[in-house]
Amino acid sequence: MKRRAFLTGVTGAALLGPALADFSPAMLPAGGVSRFAEVNGVRLHYVVAGVGPTVVLLHGWPQTWLAWKGAMERLAARFTLIAPDLRGVGLSERTPAGYDKRTIAADIAALIADVAGGRAHVVGHDMGGKAAFVLAHLYPLRVEKLVLVDCLLPGTENMDAAHGGAWHYGFHMAPDIPELLTKGREREYIAAQIRAWSHRKDAVSEASIAEFSRHYATPGGMTAGFALYRALPEDARLAASLAGNKLAMPVMTIAGRHGVGPRLAEAVGRQASDLTAEIAEDSGHFVAEEAPEFFCDRLARFLAS
């Protein structure tokens, strides 16, 4: 991502993300705590709740750590759940670069080393899933078990809308234009994207959408989100270089039947020797919210086995 594109309309102060005073404790899961860590040269915000083995939860676009609140409350009696805001998102620091999944994986590896005792189960959805996949390859000693949730591996996305691909890839990757066209309409755009990718249209609440949008609508917020897409060509090149490697840890995929379906397991199966594949039949892209009982049950079983 070009530095010029990131800095369009962004003040130096905005690079630090929204003010801490903007965070409402009422958004926390029961027993949850909001914290910050300086890792890999970036200040990351994360929420932690629960007791037991540590599970790191990585959100995707257009969400924040809050995407995991329901799952954290369901699983807190069995696991310690750590849900960070990815760099540039939510209350984490906005940086002018570093939205490629290699860098984000390095952020999370450092976070695991700093706050999780050096090793954790890692769960990633959407862009967080891409980062989790790279993390497992590059930092296998940090990952006890890997869970990928309704995402496409870097390089496997169909970005050609003329041949059945999703139109939003090209739109999000274009320099400056998506910021221009979504300015002042962030909530409407984010709501439309979430509804389009959901099978259960009411699963992601209006309150959650409002909270996601509040953060992305701050100066530089949408640019940080689009930067995750602008890094996809670089991510694809990295994934291609890892194609001959095997994932050392047990892996589970959980996809929505109306999301990526079996494509995720098919792609991961080429690199995972120990793979468990699950499909949530009545779910689209947002499995943790659309099929919460199924998601938490399958996740807990896999992590406890």
Q: In what order do the strands lie in the sheet with 42-50?
A: 33-39, 42-50, 80-84, 54-58, 120-125, 143-149, 251-256, 275-280
Query: Which bin fits 185, alpha (ψ -120 to 50), beta or left (φ > 0)?
Result: alpha
Helix (H, G, I), strand (E, B) or coil at 125: strand
Q: Which two structure tokens, joined as six digits, stand for 254?
A: 């959980």
Q: Identity (one letter) of the amino acid at 214?
A: R
Close Cβ partners of 4 (under 8 Å, ≥ 6 residues apart): none
* Alpha carbons 106 and 102: distance in angstroms, whole number: 6
* Alpha carbons 47 and 29: distance in angstroms, whole number: 9
Which is catalytic among the residues 107, 126, 150, 235?
A: 126
Which is catalytic among the residues 46, 99, 216, 229?
A: 229
- Is 285 designated active site? yes
Close Cβ partners of 194 (under 8 Å, ≥ 6 residues apart): 62, 204, 209, 286
Q: Which two structure tokens, joined as six digits, stand for 217?
A: 């609508």
Which is catalytic among the residues 59, 125, 215, 285?
A: 285
Q: Which two structure tokens, joined as six digits, stand for 213?
A: 């949008």
* Alpha carbons 93 and 84: distance in angstroms, whole number: 12
**Nearest residue to 301 via CA among 278, 274, 269, 272:** 278
* Alpha carbons 238 and 256: distance in angstroms, whole number: 26
Helix (H, G, I), strand (E, B) or coil at 218: coil
> Where does residue 29 rank: exposed (0-12), middle (13-18), buried (19+ CB within 10 A)?
buried
- Is 274 designated active site? no
Q: Tell me how far the alpha carbon of residue 106 is from its chain's centroid.
A: 14
Q: Which residues are catalytic?
A: 126, 229, 285
